[in-house]
Amino acid sequence: MSGTPVVVFDLDQTVIVGEGPVRAYAHEVGSGLRQSQRVRLTERLDHYLGLRSAGADPGPDEPQDAYGLVWQVATRWLPEREVSAALARSRERMATAGANVLPAPGAQPLLAALEGSVHRVLMTKSPGDGLLAVLANLGLVELFDLVAAGMAKPRVWPEVIAALVAGTTGQLCSVGDHWINDIEQPRALGCFTVWIRRHSAPGWNADVVAPDLAAAREDLVEWGRLVSTRGDVQVTR
């Protein structure tokens, strides 16, 4: 892909939204827990999602996303391999009808607008089982040029940049909601970054900060157009 700008999108809470994915994860984890532990996990998750829904910051001691919360709580009682297996099973559940998951606001128009000017890559830590079916159900699968699942973000970023743009960091843009997984390393390595952020986080930043892909569309389309014609550029708002 060297020579063509690349936009790398995160999956959950970036390209797709809704509580369905993390609820399915918690459900699968709960199958291995005692009743009292399931209740505690559900209470913690309900509280966390309620804060996020209200636009509030859960606090500096809490994980950055609801998946991290489920992992944090569940690994107190279960081996990590069992919690990881529960995540894989939850992805298969997502592919079924009725899962509470939707395309993020603006996802489809943005991906369509970027076609031809950049390579559109979906990169997620989630397992690949059922992922293409989920994307197909949401009308998103044909809007990506590459889907990469099971990626060990953030550790994998230097390899990704080398593979996708031959190490030319100014030719790559990372879009995601998780600052550590999606923004921190690409930004430090010189990539353009778009942080999908719905709550305050003092001290953390990105080139573009927006509540969803619809709000980020103009900046992303401009970046893709300028980089494809002029090389490494900075978009100013």
Q: How far is CA 95 from the centre of its chain?
A: 17
Q: What is the DSSP letter of 104?
A: P
Q: Is 85 exposed, middle or buried (0-12, 13-18, 19+ CB in 10 A)?
A: middle
Q: What is the pTM of this model?
A: 0.87
CA distance 142 to 202: 37
Contact 47, 64 (CB under 8 A): no
Amino acid present at 130: G
E strands present in the chain: 6-9, 16-17, 102-103, 119-123, 146-148, 172-176, 192-196, 208-210
Q: What is the pLDDT along the chain (237 residues), one digit of tens a residue?
A: 557 899 999 999 999 998 888 998 999 999 999 999 999 999 999 999 998 887 777 777 788 789 999 999 999 999 999 999 998 888 777 776 556 789 999 999 999 999 999 999 999 988 887 788 889 989 999 999 999 999 999 999 999 999 998 878 889 999 999 999 999 999 999 999 999 987 656 667 899 999 999 999 999 999 998 898 776 555 544
Q: 203: phi > 0 → left, psi -120 to 50 → alpha, else beta; which?
A: left
